[in-house]
Amino acid sequence: MALSKIRYAVVGLGHIAQAAVLPAFAHARRNSSLHAIVSGSEKKLNEIGDNYRIPVRASYDNYERCLKEVDAVYLCTPNTEHEDYTVRAAAAGVHVLCEKPLAVTDKACRNMVSACRKGDVKLMTAYRLHFEPLYLEILDLVRRGKIGEPRFFSSSFSMHAKPHGIRTQKETGGGTLYDLGVYCVNTARVMFGAEPTEVFAYSVDGARADMPEIDEMTSCVLRFDGDRLATFTTSFDANGVSDFRIVGTEGNIHAEPAYEYAEALGYTLTVGEESRKKKGRRRDQFAAELVYFSDCVLQGKDPEPSAEEGCWDVRVVDALYQSARRGTPVSLGHFGPEQRPEKIQAENFPPLRQEPDLVAVRKPHD
């Protein structure tokens, strides 16, 4: 019998799962259902399971048993665990929607892609901005030549991260580039419609901010064919900033806020001496991801953003950290052609009415 709804298990019940993913199922109900949760916390399983009336609740030890009850998983585990839970899901014939970064090494990414191909299941990197109408509107303006030929890209993404959380620990794949930099890297690649050929980075270690295992701040330069450059800085110990600017031969677009999910995005388009501002609306970007991925599963379509899209961003991040350690530029190999987001992917789901009560978890940043 053909499926009409995809039954999901949300794996990992940290902040992003509780604050955004779980409540998004209320807006994605046309083709997606929250059928199971997986956590190492019995308190989370009981309280969250009761709050959302979730029928299947499993510990990590019972992951395989849970996989028999669902069609797809949404992975919200620490970055270093994405590979394991993806490979095991693929072996069970279960599709995978995985939070970014896809993994923390190129080898792990390739293992994930290979396992999903072998298991004949879909694997999508959870780039929620690929479904955000205002973000896609900016991309459309660039593609239609509204700012002329795109020449350079700059971005800042910073926050006050709380020490001792998973994003500040090396063993869980912490670091500013894995947490924040992937947004900047992906956006530069998307706006240029190209892949970087060489990168350079300089990092400041996190000791001063009680984050000794990771970089507290990193500044990066990406070189693209056609004499184009992208620069950005990420930080875990600075005032919250979320913006990017794409500058062309005839104008520029400044997006601010640029990467958020809990507030409305906005941009200013300047061409010559004329500027116009546009403010978007708060939207449920996670519901958009779920509905899109479920459609891909139901219709047998390959998703965009693909697993390869996530792999390539991890390769860039890895090269940037290599550059920071060595103090020299790092060249990148050819990535190959990749499908890009299209304006038709935009989804306009209403925002959450209020942030849900969190169970045994705290917000990871101020």
Give pLDDT, residue 46. 98
Stretch 297-315: mean pLDDT, rounded? 95
Give pLDDT, residue 336. 67
Architecture of domain 6-128+285-304: 3-Layer(aba) Sandwich (3.40)
* pLDDT tens column, 39-93: 999 999 999 999 999 999 999 999 999 999 999 999 999 999 999 999 999 999 9
Q: List the domain boundaries for the chain.
A: 6-128+285-304, 133-282+315-331
Q: What is the percentage of the chain residues whose pLDDT exceeds 90?
A: 92
Same fold, 6-128+285-304 and 133-282+315-331: no
Quick check: 155 pLDDT over 80? yes
- For residues 96, 101, 102 and 104, what is the CA-based torsion angle, rounded to 10 degrees? -140
Stretch 113-141: mean pLDDT, rounded? 98
Q: Which pTM does this prediction carry? A: 0.96
- Lowest mean pLDDT, pick from 163-167, 180-184, 292-296: 163-167
- For residues 84, 85, 88 and 91, what is the CA-based torsion angle, rounded to 10 degrees? -110
Give pLDDT, residue 2. 63
Query: pLDDT averaged over the chain?
Result: 96
Give pLDDT, residue 353. 77
* pLDDT tens column, 7-51: 999 999 999 999 999 999 999 999 999 999 999 999 999 999 999
Stretch 115-130: mean pLDDT, rounded? 98
Give pLDDT, residue 344. 92
Architecture of domain 133-282+315-331: 2-Layer Sandwich (3.30)
Q: Is residue 129 within 8 Å of residue 187, measured between CB atoms?
A: yes
Question: DSSP for 267-332?
Answer: EEEEETTEEEEEE-----HHHHHHHHHHHHHHHTPPPSSBHHHHHHHHHHHHHHHHHHHHTS-EE-
